[in-house]
């Protein structure tokens, strides 16, 4: 059911081997998909190219998700090279460092704008660009990555929590818009994982310790576990699921105290 043989997918959000998006890319490739990976800047291009070289016949293209032009160029390339698209993974997230250290009340207008643009609006822009490619395939699956800091306060997560709330709401509105075209839009809310993005959040290790102490499974999660759940949401196994935020967090969301 989670077979992706003959499918073409886009993966946005690989920075290095610890990226959640990289684990999803590996799992999708192992399930038979051909993939396009993106990098947001020249600084990360080499990393992404090195990782992509482990995949079969990958496409590697630039895409800074704050640029409408780069999103449009990417969609045009995918149309030309793949002739359509079956699934897309949106794993881009960013907030300026000051917003992840200072009290939330100090968040500047500019940091708020950047965090919401990169981490939430980009799903809307990217979805709009790839939807016509998915229509060519009779439908598709779009997946983004979120965190429960959207709903509850986590120390120093701050404006990222606000951005994730906007992202999760966008999942539902996009699912409603695109459902008639058989394009599904879902999110995985992952438990805390030590990645590049996570290392920007002050005191992140203490969040991990709370998972070890209190989550029902007494641990947090691995990127490969998020990837396994992603295979369900990207494949026909989840063909009746859309507008969903799937918790892949060792049960942490179920705990009150």
Nearest partner of 193 among 177, 162, 215, 165, judged by Cα: 215
Q: Is 118 in the site for ligand NAD (CB under 6 A)?
A: yes
Using the rule CB under 6 A, give the single segment among 7-15, 74-82, 103-111, 151-159 that binds ligand NAD: 7-15
Quick check: 64 binds ligand NAD (CB under 6 A)?
yes
Cα distances (Å, whole numbers) of residue 91 to 15, 37, 69: 10, 11, 19
| Catalytic (active site) residue 164 | yes
Task: Tell me which of 20, 36, 95, 233 binds ligand NAD, using CB under 6 A.
Answer: 20
Give residue number: closest CB to ligand NAD. 93
Kindly write down the DSSP assignment for every residue of 113-126, as one continuous string. Answer: HHHHIIIIIHHHHH
Q: Residue 240 and residue 225: Cα distance in Å, rounded?
A: 22
39 is catalytic: no
Of 15-23, 79-87, 98-106, 131-139, which part binds ligand NAD (CB under 6 A)? 15-23
Work out which of 29, 92, 166, 250 binds ligand NAD, going by CB under 6 A. 92
DSSP 3-state of 186 = strand
CB 87 within 8 A of CB 137: no
Which of residues 25, 85, 87, 91 is near ligand NAD by CB under 6 A?
91
Residue for token digits 């997230």?
93
Angle made by CA atoms 171, 189, 164, in degrees to the nearest 5: 55
Interface residues with ligand NAD (CB under 6 A) are 13-15, 19-21, 40, 44, 63-66, 91-94, 118, 145-147, 190, 192-193, 195-198
Residues classed as catalytic: 157, 164
């Amino acid at each position: 059911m989670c077979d992706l043989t003959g499918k073409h997918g886009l993966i946005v959000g690989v920075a290095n081997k610890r990226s959640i998006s990289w684990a999803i890319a590996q799992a999708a490739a192992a399930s038979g998909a051909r993939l396009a990976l993106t990098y947001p800047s020249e600084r990360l291009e080499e990393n992404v190219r090195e990782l992509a070289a482990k995949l079969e016949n990958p496409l590697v293209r630039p895409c800074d998700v704050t640029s409408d032009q780069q999103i449009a160029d990417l969609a045009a390339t995918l149309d030309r090279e793949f002739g359509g698209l079956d699934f897309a993974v949106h794993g881009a997230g960013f907030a300026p460092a000051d917003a992840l250290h200072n009290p939330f009340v100090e968040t500047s207008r500019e940091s708020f704008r950047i965090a919401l643009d990169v981490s939430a609006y980009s799903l809307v822009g990217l979805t709009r660009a790839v939807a016509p490619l998915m229509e060519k395939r009779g439908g598709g699956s779009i997946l983004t990555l979120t965190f429960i800091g959207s709903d509850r306060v986590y120390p120093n997560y701050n404006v990222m929590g606000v951005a994730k709330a906007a992202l999760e709401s966008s999942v539902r509105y996009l699912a409603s818009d695109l459902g008639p075209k058989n394009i599904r839009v879902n999110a995985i809310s992952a438990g805390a994982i030590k990645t590049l993005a996570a290392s920007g959040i002050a005191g992140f290790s203490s969040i991990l310790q709370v998972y070890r102490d209190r989550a029902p499974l007494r641990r947090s999660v691995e990127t490969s576990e998020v990837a396994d759940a992603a295979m369900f949401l990207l494949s026909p196994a989840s063909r009746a699921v859309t507008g969903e935020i799937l918790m892949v967090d060792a049960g942490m969301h179920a705990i009150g105290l």
